Amino acid sequence: MQVSGTLTELLRSDCATVVLTGAGISAESGVPTFRGKDGLWNKFDPRELATFSAFMRNPKLVWEWYLFRRELISKVEPNPGHFTLAEMGEHLSQLHIVTQNVDNLHQRAGSTNVIELHGNIERNKCVECNAPMAEFEIDPDNLPTCQCGGRIRPDVVWFGEMLPEAAIETAQQEAAACKLFFSVGTSAEVYPAADLPMIAKKNGAYLVEVNPHATPLTPYADEVFAAPSGEAMPLIWHAVREQSS
Ligand code: BJW
Ligand code: ZN
C-alpha cells in the first residue's frame, strides 16, 4: 500500500476534510456489517427489523434485535481505524467525521463533533412526540411508553425515514465545501449518505476510498486503499506525520 504525495500534501495543508464512515470501520472491532457474505441482512430481513411499520407490527421482535446488538456493541472496543481518526481530529482543524454508524465507537475512541446520520443505538425516543427516554434497560416483555402514551423505540433511522435534518444538511454543506473526502468502510449503497462523496467530487474534492472491496464509488475515487481501515488509516496518517517531522 502506497500513500500518494497528493494525499499527504492535502492532509499536511490542514484543508477542509470530510470522512464518511460506515459499518466496515467497526468490522475489525467485531461489529457485523450489513451487506456482503457475513452481513446482517444476509441472515435477517431488514423489512421485518428496520422499518417503522415492522416496529409497529411487532415491537417486541424489533426491540429484541436492537437489545441483542446493544449488548454486542457494549462489549467491543474501538479499533485502530477509529483511534487514527480521533488522533487526526486533534491535529487537523477542519476534520469532520460523518458516520452512518449507530455504535458510538468514534466517540469512544475520542472523536468529538461526530455527525450521526442514522442515529445512535444507545438512545431511545418516543414514536409520537420524539421525546428522548434515557432509560437504557428495556424489557421486551414489558415495553416502556412515553408520558404522552407513545411507544418507545430505538433512536435510529430506519428505511423510508428522514434523516435528522440538521445532520444531513450539515454533512451536505461540509461535503460541498471540502477539498478532501474519505469514504471509509461503506458500501455506498444507502441514500442520502451515498450522495455525499459525489457531492464532494462534483465540487472539486479529492476523493479517497478505504474499503477492501470495490463499491459503486470506486470508479470515481482518486485514490483507493483496498484494505481494512484499521490498517489503511494508520498507514495514511503515519505517512503524513513522518513527512512533518
Ligand atoms: C470494510 C471492512 C474493513 C468490511 N475496513 N471496510 C435514492 C435512490 C435509491 C433509494 C433511495 C434513494 N433515497 C432514499 C432511498 C431509500 C433508502 C435507500 O437508500 N435504499 C437503498 C438500499 C437502495 N434510503 C432510506 O430509506 C433513507 N431515508 C431516506 O432517504 O428518507 C427520505 C426518503 C424516504 C422515503 C422514500 C424516499 C426518500 C434511510 C436510510 C436508513 C438506513 N438505516 C440503516 C439501519 C440503521 C439502524 C441500525 O443500525 O439498525 O443504516 S440500514 C444500514 O445501511 C445502516 C447503515 O448505516 C447503512 C449503510 O450501510 P454501510 O455502513 O455502508 O454498511 P454495509 O454493510 O453496506 O457496507 C460495509 C462496507 O464495509 C462494505 O463495502 C465492506 O466491503 C466494507 N468493509 N470490512 C473497511 N475492515
Ligand atoms: Zn411521547
What pLDDT digit, counting tens, does each position of 2-45 carry?
999 999 999 999 999 999 999 999 999 999 999 988 899 998 88
Ligand lying nearest the CA atom of residue 127:
2
Quickly list DSSP for 116-168. ESSEEEEEEEETTT--EE------TTS--B-TTSPBEEEEEPPBTSPPPHHHH
91 classed as catalytic: no
DSSP state of 51: B
Range in 34-48, 53-67, 82-96, 195-209 the model is least confident about: 34-48
Is pTM, for the whole model, over 0.95?
yes
% of the chain beyond a pLDDT of 90 = 92
Nearest to 231 by CA among 245, 212, 203: 212
- At 242 the pLDDT is 87
Res 164 pLDDT > 70: yes
Is 140 close to ligand 1, i.e. is its CB under 6 Å away? no
Nearest to 193 by CA among 150, 157, 218: 157
Is 162 close to ligand 1, i.e. is its CB under 6 Å away? yes
Q: What's the grid cell of residue 197? A: 462523496
The arithmetic mean of pLDDT across residues 64-76, rounded, is 96
Band of the pLDDT at 80, cuts 50, 70, 90?
very high
For atom 5 of ligand 1, the residue with the nearest CA is: 228
- At 186 the pLDDT is 98
The arithmetic mean of pLDDT across residues 185-202, rounded, is 98
Q: Is the dihedral of CA 33, 39, 40, 45 positive or negative?
A: positive
- At 94 the pLDDT is 97
The arithmetic mean of pLDDT across residues 42-59, rounded, is 93
For atom 35 of ligand 1, the residue with the nearest CA is: 160
Q: pLDDT of 93-147, one tens digit each?
A: 999 999 999 999 999 999 998 999 999 999 999 999 999 987 668 999 999 999 9
Q: How many CB atoms lie within 10 A of CB 202?
A: 12
The arithmetic mean of pLDDT across residues 152-163, rounded, is 97
Provide the mean pLDDT of the chain: 96
Task: For residue 143, give Cα distances in angstroms to 69, 139, 154.
Answer: 17, 6, 12
Band of the pLDDT at 233, cuts 50, 70, 90?
very high
The three-state secondary structure class of 97 is strand
The arithmetic mean of pLDDT across residues 71-75, rounded, is 96
- At 245 the pLDDT is 57
- At 136 the pLDDT is 65
- At 244 the pLDDT is 64
Is 99 close to ligand 1, i.e. is its CB under 6 Å away? no
Q: What's the grid cell of residue 129? A: 412526540
Active-site hit among 82, 91, 118, 213 = 118
Residues 245 and 222: beta-carbon distance below 8 Å = no
Q: How far is the CA of 196 from the centre of ligand 2 (A)?
A: 32
- At 32 the pLDDT is 96
The three-state secondary structure class of 57 is helix
